[in-house]
Chains A and B, each alone.
Chain A
Amino acid sequence: MKNLNKFLSIAILSVILISCSSSSDDDPSAIPEFDRSAVLVNYADNIIIPRLNNFKSAVEYLKESADAFVNSPDLTSYTELHNSWLEAYINWQYVEMFNIGKAEEIMFFSKSNTYPVNEGRIQENINNQKTDLSNPNDWSCQGFPGLDYMIHGLASSEEEIINQYIQYPANGEYLKVVAHELNKNTDLVINDWSTYRNTFVASVENTATSAFNMLTNDFVYYFEKGLRTNKIGIPSGVFSNNPLSNKVEAYYSSKNGIEDVSRDLIENALNAVNLVFQGKSTNQSPVGPSFKTYLDYIKTNNVSVEDIGSIVVNKIETANQKILSLDKNFINQIDNDNTKMLGTFDALQTIVVNLKTDMLSLFNVAVDYTDADGD
């Protein structure tokens, strides 16, 4: 009813407006419409779904490696497990930002990458042979950080860790529970995309709940929170009195000298963000319909607007250089020379400024609150 009213009033108004402007069709200054659906199609078909498929294979392999390791815990199966964990964790960096549809519904992001972990609670879960991890308090006991603890944190060397599994089968059971839970959640998300895809690409309205707006808000939120705050800000002490090097991503792998991966993870996360921003499926592909091309379109429509798209792309490259200059082991980096971490934070923060003010302002993304000043 409300929509009908809206439709009728617009129909009447537009007849009046169009009749006042008969010769506008061949106006040379007229600007072609920007196709937001093309952005969503590009994101869904060339980025989100392929990335989810890659992630799915990696998680499947991780699950199998976990089963194999628990079956016969030795150095070979352990190395295989570690490698499959890292492979899946890197793939995770490419999908974490898509907190939309099923992923949002099942809290995929919180269940897969909440860190630091709650060691005490994990030990309780192991002892209680817990299999149901749906309680929000268990978010910090599962996913990749939970696996990081189970694979790298039960003791301080590979041999001792393997020994933990030989001596205490409950450890192996919990490892399998976490790996299978992650695999199950991944299935839920990826299966939903087979039907959600068409809803997604058609949902381009400028409302608080449209896919285009939610994806935009998720993207900015992820950059600010998941990437800037969690990976760099919190461990380097930006939000606390002192640096907290035990809050880095993949803490136990670095701490116990298994492999230093924290830097690899954020490097991939920034690459993932960069590709989405430019609408590329890989670094070699051309720029596709994306936030960047939308910003470029707005600029052609409005000469006084700055080239936000290029500014952001350049700043991402600067931030990437800062990241590459860091120690692969973030615990060492923070404990020895935290200023480099803080410098990386600043480089990421200046991108957040452009995304959160300039980009959201130009997109004029509708937000949940309601009445504004009108005239």
Chain B
Amino acid sequence: MILNSKIKNYLNQTQDSSSLALFRIGFGVLMTFGMIRFLTKGWVEKLYLEPSFHFSFYGFEWIKPIGDLTYLLFFICTISALFIALGYKYRISIIIFFLSFTYIELMDKTTYLNHYYFISILSFLMIFLPANAYYSLDSRNRGFEFKKIPKWCTDCIKMLLFIVYFYSGIAKINSDWLLEAQPLKIWLTSSYDLPIIGSTLMQQNWVHYGMSWGGMFYDLLIAFLLLYSRTRIIAFCLVIFFHVFTAILFPIGMFPYIMIVGSLIFFESQTHYRMIKKIDLLVKFFGLKDKKKSIISTKSNKNPFVLAIVTIFFVIQLSFPFRYLLYPGELFWNEQGYRFSWRVMLMEKKGITNLKVLNKNNGKSFIVMNDKFLSEFQERQMSFQPDFILEYAHHVGEYYKKNGLKEIEIYADSYVTLNGRLSQRFIDPKVNLLDVERGFKHKKWVLALDDEITGL
């Protein structure tokens, strides 16, 4: 009963609506910019239109690039992001953004990045938030805006950011990261071309260890430091320092800026309010006049359906990254339960994988030239990830069966190096991959790593 009333009490708490409005604007602007950046780099052509084959997430094989219409998809996604920034037809815009962005990410597994996944689930969550309550074209058009929104609506964004940071911190508690300073040692040493620090600091052992341990503590603690008002300013400075630094060191695109802007949500709403007023000055400078709006006190949102979805969403988010515990074997090697778990920058992994096609009718075999089926980027990703190798083998199998080789078996000749270890054989060369079904079952046909990585 007490718990029940506590929950009720929490759901009744409110918060100034400017916080969520500012977050919406930041999100929309960054996404618009991100999509345009993707388009202007020619990646649609290179990643989605040029390759003849695309790697799919299991169960999502029906999601493929749609020829030249793929550009339309990117265009729709960009426009919806812009509408989100403007707060124009917000609900339908965020739904379209979520669907189009997620579709794009599911078209080819080769391009998977954790921060794309982050955008997908964040935009899903935002479908249920009244982010257009304040300072939006929607509120301008309907003639009134809400001064207050439920507190849970901003708390759930903080919660998601907390999960991203904290879980990626947990993932760093392993022997490679903390005891060997890998893979940072390889990556920092090879950043020798940075001005000033490249040939000095980046080559030092203590820097590799310092950055490994520092990175772990940063990820584990930063959300707490942002939550606590007395450490918030210094924490935000850390956020900027950390992400700018990683942006210089690694080719990680939009991610650092998304996290910096996202972290603003932890500030007090007066700060958000003042920032919106600044944005408003800019808007007015460009001659846009504000319409008179009446203020209505609270946009309440206690729809049990919405609350149930958000609750289930977080139960999944909190538990899903631990699904790797259901699999035996080394997580970094087998990658069973590796994705969608905020495991970032943990592995320097490279492989070489060739498929051998055995014709059972005459006992003859040949090796497949990878460039016949895959782009360079796809070949690189395929070469060290078991689910890619299996899917590739099945694709090649179907190709040769269609071309008249009915009775064939396919074997992988595969070697992988992980975090500076000497490369070793990766896939059991005696397993016919056409006999193996795709799916979430334990991949027994991946040979064990000759070493142990301990940790969470």
B-binding residues in A (CB < 8 A): 6-7, 9-11, 13-14, 16-18, 21, 24, 27, 29-31, 33-34, 36, 204-207, 210, 233, 237-242, 298, 301-302, 304-306, 308, 311, 349, 352-354, 356-358, 360-375
Contact = CB atoms under 8 A, between A and B. Distances in A.
Given A31-B205, A237-B366, A364-B187, A371 B252 contact: yes
B439 interface: no
A370 B344 contact: no
Q: Would you call the interface of chain B mostly helix, strand, loop, or mixed?
A: mixed
B406 to A, nearest CB: 14
A357 B352 contact: yes
A-B complex: 6 closest residue pairs judged by Cβ atoms: A374-B252, A371-B253, A364-B190, A205-B193, A375-B344, A306-B422
18 contacts: A13-B197, A17-B197, A24-B206, A31-B205, A36-B192, A204-B193, A206-B190, A237-B366, A238-B366, A239-B369, A301-B203, A352-B352, A356-B352, A371-B113, A372-B113, A372-B253, A373-B114, A374-B253
Given A207-B193, A298-B189, A362-B420, A369 B377 contact: yes
Nearest to A13: B245
A302 B185 contact: yes
B344 to A, nearest CB: 4
A374 B245 CA distance: 11
Given A24-B206, A361-B348, A353 B423 contact: yes
Nearest to A301: B189
Most B CB atoms within 10 A — which of A17, A24, A308?
A17
A357 B417 contact: yes
Nearest to A30: B204
B280 interface: no
A9 B244 contact: yes
A206 B193 contact: yes
Interface of A is mostly: loop
Nearest to B415: A353
A367 B378 CA distance: 13
Interface in B291-310: none
B97 to A, nearest CB: 19
Interface string B88-131: 00000000000000000000000001110000000000000000
Nearest to B418: A361
Given A33-B199, A357-B351, A374-B345, A9 B420 contact: no
Interface string B180-210: 1010011101111111110111011111000
Contacts of B422: 306, 308, 311, 358
Q: Which of A29, A302, A363, A365 has the most CB of B within 10 A?
A: A302
B203 A373 contact: no
B191 A241 contact: no
Contacts of B247: 374
A238 B195 CA distance: 47
B364 A372 contact: no
Given A238-B366, A241-B364, A17 B201 contact: yes
Contacts of B337: none
A370 B41 contact: yes
B364 A242 contact: yes
B80 interface: no
A308 B422 CA distance: 8
Given A206-B192, A239-B369, A371-B255, 17 more contacts: A9-B244, A9-B248, A10-B195, A16-B241, A30-B204, A31-B205, A204-B193, A206-B193, A301-B189, A354-B423, A357-B352, A357-B423, A367-B380, A369-B377, A373-B252, A374-B253, A375-B345
B241 A13 contact: yes
Interface string B405-434: 000000001011100111100000000000
